[in-house]
């Protein structure tokens, strides 16, 4: 898909990877970028990138009312970027149910519900693209993030179902599986991390190239190793945290 002259909506656009998506979409010539966030007051940075092309939007991806309102307002969207995410720390036997519920609500249910609301919008605009920010942890678990792993595995599965459902409607689904990224989400974890700019560049390159699955920045080496020997990568990740 061409990004030039597209109209994009980014969830969780106020910070981290989401804010970088806004900048890079503008750089690649998007006509308009809806920068959405739970708290629109937190979007000043994103708006300042280009006040003429960045439109702030209130959107908590767990709120049915806000999702419906966003789909009504942003009726010209041709690219939806499901970027908002939540990560709870805790192992499989000690993470609380509230944390599991939160990660599932944002990472899985939110992705599905926002995509569902924007499907008629994308279809009415002649088709388009949905980008889902998944993670290598969709298919290899890091034991210290049990709720997050499970929610992103569910999101990956849902994304493949969505892809099959949306393809006949002229909507392609691009699934992105990054490794660790240097944002607030992993600030407490001492590990090698990719720059969000490198991740976003690779994902948008994949969108423009018409690829369905992208392993941006350092994720491509980990994915290649996983394909060669999944048990070895499972064992290596099991050592983490």
DSSP state of 8: E
Q: Is 85 in the site for ligand NAP (CB under 6 A)?
A: yes
Q: Is 12 in the site for ligand NAP (CB under 6 A)?
A: yes
Min. distance of Cβ 199 from ligand NAP in angstroms? 8
Q: Is 16 in the site for ligand NAP (CB under 6 A)?
A: yes
Q: Is 186 in the site for ligand NAP (CB under 6 A)?
A: yes
- CA–CA gap between residue 48 and residue 9 (Å, rounded): 16
DSSP state of 152: H
Min. distance of Cβ 134 from ligand NAP in angstroms? 7
Min. distance of Cβ 13 from ligand NAP in angstroms? 7
Q: Is 180 in the site for ligand NAP (CB under 6 A)?
A: yes
Which is it for strands 7-10 and 79-82: parallel, antiparallel or unpaired? parallel
Among 185, 203, 217, 222, binds ligand NAP (CB under 6 A): 185
Q: Is 9 in the site for ligand NAP (CB under 6 A)?
A: no
Q: Is 216 in the site for ligand NAP (CB under 6 A)?
A: no
Site for ligand NAP in 29-48 (CB under 6 A): 37-39, 42
- Answer whether 166's CB lies under 8 Å from 111's CB: no
Residue 230: CB atoms within 10 Å: 12
Min. distance of Cβ 46 from ligand NAP in angstroms? 10
Nearer CB in complex with ligand NAP: 78/132: 132
Piece of 60-68, 93-101, 121-129, 202-210 that binds ligand NAP (CB under 6 A): 60-68
Q: In 3-state terms, what secondary structure has residue 209?
A: helix
- Report residue 194 as tokens: 């990719």
Helix 196-209 vs helix 16-27: crossing angle, to nearest 10: 50
Distances (CA, A) of 66 to 56, 160, 182, 218, 232: 13, 25, 29, 35, 43
176 beta partners = 133, 214
| φ/ψ (deg, to 5) at 158 | -60, -40
CA 164 centroid distance within chain: 19
Nearer CB in complex with ligand NAP: 6/36: 36
Please choose, from the candidates 211, 220, 145, 125, the residue with its C-alpha nearest in 3D space to the C-alpha of residue 178: 220
Nearer CB in complex with ligand NAP: 20/126: 20
Min. distance of Cβ 183 from ligand NAP in angstroms? 3
- Answer whether 43's CB lies under 8 Å from 31's CB: no
Nearer CB in complex with ligand NAP: 4/35: 35
Q: Is 62 in the site for ligand NAP (CB under 6 A)?
A: yes
Binding site for ligand NAP (CB under 6 A): 11-12, 14-18, 37-39, 42, 59-62, 83-86, 106, 133, 135, 178, 180-181, 183-186
């Amino acid at each position: 898909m061409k990004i030039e002259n597209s109209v994009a909506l980014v969830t969780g656009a106020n910070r981290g990877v989401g804010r970088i998506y806004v900048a890079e979409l503008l750089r690649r010539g998007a006509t308009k970028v809806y920068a959405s966030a739970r708290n629109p007051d937190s979007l000043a940075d994103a708006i300042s990138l280009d006040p003429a092309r960045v439109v702030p939007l209130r959107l908590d991806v767990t709120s049915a009312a806000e999702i419906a309102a966003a789909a009504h307002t942003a009726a010209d969207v041709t690219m939806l970027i499901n970027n908002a995410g939540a990560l709870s720390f805790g192992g499989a036997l000690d993470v609380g149910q509230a944390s599991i519920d939160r990660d599932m609500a944002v990472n899985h249910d939110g992705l599905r519900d926002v995509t569902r609301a924007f499907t008629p919008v994308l279809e009415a605009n002649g088709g388009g693209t949905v980008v889902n920010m998944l993670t290598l942890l969709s298919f290899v678990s890091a034991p210290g993030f049990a709720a997050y792993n499970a929610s992103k595995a569910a999101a990956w599965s849902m994304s493949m179902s969505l892809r099959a459902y949306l393809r006949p409607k002229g909507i392609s689904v691009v699934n992105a599986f990054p490794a660790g990224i240097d944002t607030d989400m992993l600030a407490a974890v001492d590990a090698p991390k990719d720059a969000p700019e490198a991740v976003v560049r690779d994902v948008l390159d994949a969108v423009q190239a018409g690829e369905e699955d992208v392993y941006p920045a350092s994720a491509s080496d980990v994915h290649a190793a996983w394909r060669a020997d999944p048990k070895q990568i499972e064992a290596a990740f099991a050592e983490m945290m």
